[in-house]
């Protein structure tokens, strides 16, 4: 059987990788590498327990640091792994530093790369993820895309059509598989919440790193909390800056540590609306049918606007949009299949597996 190395490293990777690993089980020799880019158990270990992911064969323990330090540490570790294991294919997920590092090392060693979630573009090079996405796609042999707009982006960048495969979104496979475990009533009981509440998630550098931007964001969140209690599972990134800006000084704001996968989505499923700067949350809320207000000037996931519940509002427009959302009739939850983006149907993992196996067989 062909040998495939899967490289994961952070919370967003794990729900994407789980369906692919499951669909390839018994059909290829698989090696799962966890780079350790996210090393907090709440962002890493718990996902392996909850998503039925196999225990990683290797954990590189890369840890934190600047972008250059982190990427370099992952590259050094992966070079040894790829040299020793000599895979027939390296599969990378998403747009984190580990994704870029794996693609660079594999390309230097002339090992083919498959990129799951290829072709997404925000066209904002101030976002580290945008740099990672663009470079990874240029180095990849198989580009496995989640939405039709991504196909167009890759075509305009000169990627040959035969390398591009529209397979759907494997993260949605994971969400739909575990949908019955997302229990809003349990979340309300655990955190002492009323029937109606808001959820916010925040971690983008543009929102949380600079004191002025963090202060503006905190002011908006406090005003949102005057409308309805606001719960914020706070990512370790940005915690200090947001708290220094006074995030926890409002009685309407409830700060939580990062939550496990099912606990977080149970909280989100019951929310009146979600305020976020996360790409993955834009996708999850679209399928759950929860209104989503994205506090960014752009998004690499426009399909969540055209075929989902997402609105791109920036920080300045959050409160106006929130008032509009709260005045609207309730939506079906989860969203009916016909209201979801194309191929977000729970079968992306098997489609990805088949593309990979067919490509390896043809070689």
From CA 54, how far away is CA 225, in angstroms rounded? 40
The verdict on whether 203 is a catalytic residue reads yes
Query: How far apart are alpha carbons 263 and 184 in whole angstroms?
Result: 9
Q: Which of 34, 115, 153, 203 is catalytic?
A: 203
Question: What pLDDT does 65 receive?
Answer: 84
Tens digit of pLDDT for each residue in 105-124?
A: 999 999 999 999 999 999 99
pLDDT of residue 41 exceeding 80: no
Q: With 60 as the cut, is the pLDDT of residue 103 above it? A: yes
Domains contained in the chain, CATH given: 3-169+343-362 (3.40.50.2000), 179-339 (3.40.50.2000)
Element (H, E) at 16: helix 13-24
Residue-wise pLDDT tens digits, 141-188: 999 999 999 999 999 999 999 999 999 999 999 999 999 999 999 999
Average the pLDDT over each of 49-58, 71-80, 350-359 and give the range with the smallest value. 49-58
Find the range with the poorest average confidence among 84-98, 229-243, 269-283: 229-243
- In this structure, what are the phi and psi dihedrals at residue 114, rounded to the nearest 5 degrees? -115, 130
pTM for the whole thing?
0.95
Residue 238 binned pLDDT confidence (cut-offs 50, 70, 90):
confident
Report percent pLDDT > 90 for the chain.
85
Is residue 101 within 8 Å of residue 33, measured between CB atoms?
Answer: no
Please report the beta strands in the chain, taking only residues with DSSP state E, as ranges in sequence order.
Answer: 3-8, 29-34, 58-59, 89-93, 113-116, 142-145, 164-166, 198-201, 230-233, 253-256, 273-276, 292-294, 310-312
- Which pLDDT score, from 0 to 100, does residue 345 have? 98
Bridge partners, residue 128, by sequence: none
Position 198 pLDDT exceeds 80: yes
Distance CA 219, CA 201 (A): 15
Please report, rounded to a whole number, the percentage of residues in the chain having pLDDT higher than 70: 98
The whole-angstrom separation of Cα 253 and Cα 228 is 9
Please, are residues 345 and 177 in contact by the beta-carbon 8 Å criterion?
no
């Amino acid at each position: 059987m062909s040998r495939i190395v899967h490289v994961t490293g952070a919370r967003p990777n794990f729900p994407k990788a789980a369906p692919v690993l499951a669909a390839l089980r018994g059909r290829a020799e698989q090696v799962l590498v966890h780079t350790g880019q996210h090393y907090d158990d709440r962002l890493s270990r718990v996902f392996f327990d909850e998503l039925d992911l196999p225990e990683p064969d290797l954990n590189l323990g890369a840890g934190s640091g600047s972008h250059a330090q982190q990427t370099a540490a992952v590259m050094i570790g992966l070079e040894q792994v790829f040299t020793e294991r000599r895979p027939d294919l390296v599969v990378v997920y998403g747009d984190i530093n580990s994704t870029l590092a794996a693609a660079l090392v594999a390309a230097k060693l002339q090992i083919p790369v498959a990129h799951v979630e290829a072709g997404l573009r925000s066209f904002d090079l101030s976002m580290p993820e945008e740099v990672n996405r663009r470079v990874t796609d240029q180095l990849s042999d198989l580009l496995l895309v989640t939405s039709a707009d991504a196909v167009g982006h890759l075509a305009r960048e000169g990627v040959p059509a035969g390398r591009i495969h529209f397979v759907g979104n494997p993260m949605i496979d994971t969400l739909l598989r575990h949908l019955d475990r997302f229990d809003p009533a349990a979340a309300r009981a655990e955190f002492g919440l009323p029937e109606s509440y808001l959820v916010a998630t925040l971690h983008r550098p543009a929102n949380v790193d600079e004191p002025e931007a963090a202060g503006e964001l905190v002011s908006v969140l406090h005003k949102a909390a005057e409308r309805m209690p606001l719960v914020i599972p706070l990512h370790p990134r940005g915690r200090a800056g947001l708290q220094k800006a006074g995030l926890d000084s409002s009685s309407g704001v409830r700060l939580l540590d990062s939550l496990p996968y099912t606990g977080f989505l149970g909280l989100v499923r019951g929310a009146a609306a979600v305020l976020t700067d996360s790409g993955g949350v834009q996708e999850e809320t679209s399928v759950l049918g929860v209104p989503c207000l994205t506090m960014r000037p752009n998004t690499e996931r426009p399909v969540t606007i055209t075929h989902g519940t997402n609105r791109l509002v920036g920080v300045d427009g959050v409160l106006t949009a929130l008032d509009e959302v709260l005045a609207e009739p309730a939506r079906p939850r989860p969203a009916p299949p016909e209201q979801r983006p194309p191929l977000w149907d729970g079968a992306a993992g098997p489609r990805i597996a088949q593309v990979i196996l067919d490509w390896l067989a043809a070689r």
